[in-house]
Amino acid sequence: MATCSARGSPSVAATMLLLFGLLMSTLGITGAQTGVCYGMNGNNLPSKQEVVALYKSQNIQRMRLYDPNKEALQALRGSNIGLILGVPNDALQGIATSTSTANNWVKTNVVAYSSNVKFRYIAVGNEVSPVNGNSQYVNFVLPAIKNIRSAISSAGLNIPVTTAIETGLLSTSYPPSQGAFRSDVRSYIDPILAFLSQNKSPLLANVYPYFSYKSNTASIQLSYALFTSTSVVVHDQYSNLGYKNLFDALVDAVYSAMEKAGGSSVGLVVSESGWPTAGGTSTTVANAKTYNNNLIQHVKSGTPKKPGSLETYIFAMFDENNKSPEEEKHWGIFNPNKQPKYQISFS
Q: Could you give the count of Cα atoms lying within 13 Å of 3 in the half-sphere of its Cβ?
A: 1
Contact between 242 and 235 under an 8 Å Cβ cutoff? The reply is yes
Give the N- to C-terminal CA distance of the chain in Å, as an integer.
Answer: 35
Task: Enumerate the active-site residues.
Answer: 127, 272
DSSP collapsed to 3 states, the chain: CCCCCCCCCHHHHHHHHHHHHHHHHHHHHHHCCEEEEECCCCCCCCCHHHHHHHHHHCCCCEEEECCCCHHHHHHHCCCCCEEEEEECHHHHHHHHHCHHHHHHHHHHHCHHHCCCCEEEEEEEEECCCCCCCCHHHHHHHHHHHHHHHHHHHHCCCCCCEEEEEEHHHEEECCCHHHCEECHHHHHHHHHHHHHHHHHCCCEEEECCHHHHHHHCCCCCCHHHHCCCCCCCCEEECCCCEEECCHHHHHHHHHHHHHHHCCCCCCCEEEEEECCCCCCCCCCCHHHHHHHHHHHHHHCCCECCCCECCCCEEECCCECCCCCCCHHHHCCCCECCCCCECCCCCCC
Residue 237 φ then ψ, to 5°: -65, -20
Residue 336: is the preceding peptide bond cis (ω within 30°)? no
Sequence-separated (6 or more) residues with CB below 8 Å from residue 337: 46
